[in-house]
Amino acid sequence: MSIKNASAINGSEAAARPRFLTIAQVADELSVNEHLVRGLIKNLELRAFQVGGRGQWRIGRDDLEAYIATAYERAAQQIAAEPPSEGEVE
């Protein structure tokens, strides 16, 4: 595959993925419930903003990816500090 074709595919994938996500979409991506996502927003762990007269929350895809990267870093630090016992990791 040429670089030009790879670039076109990556561009179309980016176009298919929305820049901003709803709480429901973020919950689906993380495989958690919406209540947990709202808690992450309230605790300032996940950046979000409100739009429209009804104040619907939106989360930037980049903000979600940053949250995930931070979660991986925290997990790595926890494991390094105290490795899990056998059978503890699923």
CB count, 10 Å around CB of 47? 14
Can you give the pLDDT at residue 7? 53
Identify the residue with better confidence: 88 or 63.
63
Can you give the pLDDT at residue 85? 72
Average pLDDT score over residue span 62-89: 88
Residue 4 clears pLDDT 70, i.e. is over it: no
Q: Hey, which CATH number is domain 19-81, 3.40.190.10, 1.10.1660.10, 1.10.3720.10, 3.30.465.10?
A: 1.10.1660.10
DSSP 17: S
Residue spans of the domains in the chain: they are 19-81
Plot region of 72 (φ>0 → left; ψ -120 to 50 → alpha; else → beta): alpha
User: Which residues are CB-neighbours of 24 under 8 A, at least 6 positions away?
Assistant: 34
Can you give the pLDDT at residue 17? 82
User: Which residues are CB-neighbours of 48 under 8 A, at least 6 positions away?
Assistant: 23, 41, 57, 58, 59, 63
Digit-coded pLDDT (tens) for 24-68: 999 999 999 999 999 999 999 999 999 998 999 999 999 999 999
